[in-house]
Structure 1
């Protein structure tokens, strides 16, 4: 289970002398705990591995954007720290599909669902999320599907 793997890595990093890894894993742990509390408050089950994968993807995306902004502003030291954190987060994500494969998968889902226009986009994205949760960036997939349905 991904939650256990993260907890073990957090424990190990607290003993090792790697402050970036430790702080990043603490942030991940806090985000998962926060989502658990939100789920509990609304009467839902604790977060699943798929939910944790989505949390990790969101954190990765935030760091990618921060790194880009830091580079633009000439803060290369902070950009490097963001990239280090991204490397730690990537360790716990399943392998992401390459862009060509995303296009291929989107085309097959559009064909399968019989989508005719942009109004069917939600159906396509929902199918992609069911099949490929944690394996692709759905903002990219959304753009690809939108392009195909125009």
Structure 2
């Protein structure tokens, strides 16, 4: 489980004196704990790794947006700190699909659903998330689906 990997990495980072890594892993654990608290009122999640991956993907997305803003604001030191956090967080994510694999998955879903145009984008995106949500950046996938359906 990813949670166990995170706990082990925290202990390793603390023993190794990696202050930045320790801080980032603690942020990860905090975000996961907050998501657990939110999930108490919802239906139980069948696979815990799905919940953890969602949290990690959201954290990476937030940091990439921050990097972009810091770069535009001429704050390279803050952008570098965010990039270092992204590197630590991505260690715990499953391998992400590349552009070729994404295009193949989209084509397969288009064929399965019989999607022909932009009116089918919602159905294709929903199926893409259901099949490949853990290994795919959905914000990038949206542009790929739009291009494939156009």
TM, length-normalised to structure 1: 0.90
| Conserved 8 A contact 2:45-2:51 | no
In the aligned structure 1, how far is the partner of 2:47 from the partner of 2:78?
31
TM, length-normalised to structure 2: 0.90
**Could you say which residue in structure 1 is the equivalent of 2:16?**
16
Kindly indicate whether residue 39 of structure 2 is the aligned counterpart of residue 39 of structure 1.
yes
**Could you say which residue in structure 2 is the equivalent of 1:49?**
49
Change (3 A) 1:75 1:30: same
Structure 1 residue 8: deviation in Å? Answer: 1.4
Task: Mark the runs of 5 or more structure 1 residues left unpaired by the alignment.
Answer: none
1:51-90 correspondence runs (5 A): 51-90=51-90
Using the TM superposition, name which of 100-109 and 114-123 deviates more: 114-123
Runs of 4+ displaced beyond 6 Å:
none
Structure 1 residue 40: deviation in Å? Answer: 1.0
Using the TM superposition, name which of 35-44 and 21-30 deviates more: 35-44
How many pairs are equivalent? 150
Task: Mark the runs of 5 or more structure 2 residues left unpaired by the alignment.
Answer: none
| Conserved 8 A contact 1:36-1:47 | no
